[in-house]
Chain A
Amino acid sequence: MKHWLVLALLATAFGARAAPEDARPLKLWHAYRGGEETALVQATELFTAKTGVQVELLALPYDAYAAKLTNAIPHGVGPDVFIFNHERLRNFHAQNLVAPASGLAREDYFPNAVEALEVDGQVYGYPMSLKSLALYVNTKHVPQPPTTTEALLKMLPALSNSGEGRFGMAYESGDFYFHAGFLFGFGGELFDASGRASFDTQGMARSLAFVKGLQDARFIPQEASGALVKSLFNDGRAAMVISGPWFAGEIAPEVDYRVVGLPQVSETGIPIRPFLGVETAYVSSRTAKAEQAQKLARFISLGEASRVRATVGRQIPADVAAYTLREVQEDTLISSFREAARHATPMPNTLEMARVWEPMKLALRAVLQGGTLPQDAGALADRRYRALHRERPPEASPLPWLGLLGAMALGGSVWVLRRPAATLPFKRRYPDVAQAAAYIAPAAAGIAVLVFVPFVVGLSLSLFHHEAGEYSFVGLANFVDILASRGYSITEPLSFYFTLAVTLLWALVNVVLHVSIGLFLAMLLKDPLLKLRGVYRVLLIIPWAVPNYITALMWKGMFHRQFGAINGLLVALGLEPVSWFTQFSTAFAANVATNTWLGFPFMMVVALGALQSIPQELYEAAEVDGASKWTQFRHITLPLLKPAMLPAVILGSVWTFNMFNIIYLVSGGEPGGGTDILVSEAFRWAFQRNEQYGFAAAYSVLIFVVLLGWSTFTKRLTRSSSEVVG
């Protein structure tokens, strides 16, 4: 009887362990929001109803999405299925993140959508929807949409009035995704026969000149963001808008609009051909439930799921059969976009594609902001492209390095052993070593595993080149490239020396401002008889309490060209609003203002503490000797503050030197990477320029070396100052 019971218990225990394994839901990652997200939820519910398999969705912010996928999937914690634009397919494929689509029937989808997902003849993923740009027309202002650029140019003057803030057309002109259509329409190509990008072409110059002309005539707004385009169109102040299907969901109900294909370029006879992106359901290469995952990916790309995504999510299905459904046929938005997509250029799924965005953005903005002529911009982009497109350095042999490491270890141990023997035995010299070990061990273990190991890994990573998931040992090649400033002159933002100079200036300006403002406030606050002292102090440390990425975003909003409070203040004072991020000086000033606001409270608190520790008698004695206030400050306050303030200054300068959040979020390195500091530059190499981890690590090592030099220098200062004070 007892045995049976035990067996039964064991059986249930095993059952319980086996069941969750099977019933564990499929994980689906995506970056949808709003209607598209609702539609995806409904589509997966249909899948669950049909197959009984649960699906767990995770919506990720777009900016962090790709990095998270490339981290999570190889470590086995990624999704089973994920949705991404096809443009990154080659990167995913190279890193072995995606599995071939095993259940795909080509005839179910539009042929160009399937072709976009081919790598070496194999199809990866299931095409879900097509994304491209079309022309939204406010029918009240534009009854007859233009079909050629000639017609467009004729209509624009009557529709635009810069004094009233009305524009004939609006779109995010500083974004290459939006400009690409013009580039192709003017006969420009992005890639030459060998698959390399080339920017210095006639089509590029003509397309840039055309757009610059629109902006100079004030037919389109400057520096338009998505939010501005939306509000202009909804207020009836933009007659036409170039945007994608997602824009339909943001249009106010009272606006009557139509969607048509983009006009033809009259000079070339070629239509404006925007990029075509294929949003795709990929199956992860590491999924434990490949069969179910394939089923899910196929399911959400076809049939009933397509209908839901088209009607609820307003997506343009890649599924041929969807267009036989009445709801889809009758939906003019979908049919217009389907029509517009006929002329679109499928984005190539090559590794090169990921490398054109940064150079193109630079060229586009340089022209629109007036710093560069349209015919010179191509060459500018070409140079940036070549600099970012680092060739894999030749592989080096690790043997000399291992030899060096061995020699150093040997030398180190010889040095330790050859040191003159201590006069006292170890036990006597360190009587409490066992106790100390007990107190320190837990902290030491944690620091060793999670601080020192990553630190050493980071150091050694700098000797490797990383490309598409593979590391090759290259010795000092990364450092040589950085320090020789290969591919660009030292006065350009991509050069190490330029960035280093900006970083030093950044650290210097900030620390000086932090310390002087902090000290000034501390002097005002130090009098214990001051009324409301506590209140002031609390109010003045608020910036310290606000998380610094919130501070950064908050100030970024305040420096906004159209809606920012700073420009609001300038206008209230009768001044012209400023485009903060189009010039180095103003962009740098914006960063400094943000970081000053963030950093002075810490210095204020430290200075307050230091001031309180100065004995009052010193001042009284000075008073008796007839010293002026200034003399007292110079000869008593400053020297006595020094020992307390110096560690804070060192800490503050290290923090400022590595203050990534502010730079990355406020100026974002604009204009053209000019305001990037070393850390943000390292971050870009690691996470935005095809994961060049080794190169980024080399940058970090250099940062480390600079800071080490700085701290040695200040340590000498501290020592000399403590000698003075005695």
Chain B
Amino acid sequence: MNHPSRLKMALIHAGLTLLCMATLYPVLWVVKMALSPTDGLALTANPFPETVTFEHFRQVLSGTDAAGRWVFGRQLLASIVVSGATTMVGLTLAVSAAYALSRFRFPGKDGGMQALLITQMFPATLMMVPIYSILQKLHLLDSLSGLVLVYATTALPFCIWNLKGYFDTLPRELEEAAVMDGASTFQVFIRVVLPLARPALAVTALFSFMTAWNEFILAATLLNDPSRFTLPVALQRYVGEHKVEWGKFAAGALIVSAPVMALFFALQKHLVGGLTAGGVKG
């Protein structure tokens, strides 16, 4: 590649800086609301807080229920447990199913792939009423395991599609060589395929984690015990119909978004490869 000129580089930097600023403006605005002592209500374009206080964070972090018990810690734990378990369950199921779809021949394979995609087209909120009844039959209402099951399965179609696309791009020669060396199919899968698929696994895991960490309509409907609420449901408390506590909402929003941002940061190198290698073959 020919080296871009200095001027061109400067232009690119200027353009990117401008766009980054536009992207960050809403985030700064939330930071400002979270740090300002008032509820951040003033008609101003300045995204930086004039006075800084950590009061809203303190109030959110020390959130208690009506009886005075400290629930924030439990809600954080519930969120971590639910998202972690969803990732584990979802990834295990998706990896094996995607591998089978990529490598084995069996009847109904193409139909199955299409069916997976089709379910994504039916609005999720409308599936809530039947899901509620099914969980009741399984005795999983108001339990975190019920929630994990729902999250893991609803994220599966995307995970399977993404992983299958990636597996399709992996050369089969490596697997054949391993079989020659006497490895069983399962060993090949664990020892050869999975390590190669690391970028796609990272992205898929991130996706499952995010689904569970961010979802709130199902969680708000299915959970009845405040100490088991996930964080988004807990956050809903601050944006009531008649009164919006912007400061606390903003502080809570930052707390909820931070872990996912950290994950994005950690996985961002894999992000590009993991998403598109699958996409190319689709």
Contact = CB atoms under 8 A, between A and B. Distances in A.
B43 A447 contact: no
Contacts of A550: 235, 253, 256-257
Given A227-B39, A451-B119, A536-B16, 17 more contacts: A41-B67, A57-B65, A64-B221, A432-B105, A432-B106, A433-B107, A439-B104, A449-B153, A527-B1, A527-B4, A538-B264, A538-B265, A547-B256, A565-B29, A610-B280, A648-B275, A708-B118
Interface string A517-532: 0000100110101111
Contacts, number: 322
Nearest to A620: B1
Contacts of B40: 563
Contacts of A27: 224
Contact of A554 (B16, B26, B221, B277): B26
B104 to A, nearest CB: 4
A568 interface: yes
Contact of B156 (A435, A446, A545): A446
State which size class the interface on A falls in: 35 or more
A227 B244 contact: yes
B109 to A, nearest CB: 8
B177 interface: no
A197 interface: no
Contacts of B85: none
A99 interface: no
A609 B279 contact: yes
15 contacts: A58-B226, A64-B236, A227-B243, A442-B92, A525-B16, A534-B268, A539-B23, A550-B257, A554-B250, A554-B253, A568-B44, A605-B271, A610-B280, A647-B165, A711-B121
A565 B45 contact: yes
Interface of B: 1-4, 9, 12-13, 15-16, 19-20, 23-27, 29-30, 33, 39-47, 65-67, 92-94, 96-97, 99-101, 103-107, 115-127, 129-134, 136, 141-142, 149-150, 152-154, 156-158, 160, 165, 185, 210, 213-214, 216, 220-221, 224-226, 232, 235-237, 239-244, 246, 249-250, 253, 256-257, 260-261, 263-265, 268, 271-273, 275-277, 279-280, 282
A33 B106 contact: no
A10 B276 CA distance: 62
A443 B97 contact: yes
A679 B127 contact: no
A644 interface: yes
A529 B3 contact: yes
A480 interface: no
A541 B268 contact: yes
- Which of A537, A547, A703: most chain B Cβ within 10 A? A547
Contacts of B149: 446, 450
Is chain A's binding surface mostly helix, strand, loop or mixed? helix
Interface in A59-80: 59, 61-64, 67-68, 71-72, 75-77
Nearest to A246: B242
Contacts of B213: 547
A403 B235 CA distance: 50
Given A647-B279, A679-B125, A700-B122, A431 B257 contact: no
A554 B30 contact: yes
Given A77-B136, A447-B153, A644 B16 contact: no
B29 A554 contact: yes
Interface stretch (A152-160, A338-346, A367-375, A454-462): A454-462
Nearest to A665: B239
A633 interface: no
Contact of B106 (A437, A457, A546, A693): A437
A540 B136 contact: no
Contacts of B249: 553
Contacts of A75: 132-133, 136, 141
A226 interface: yes
Contact of B125 (A452, A457, A683): A683
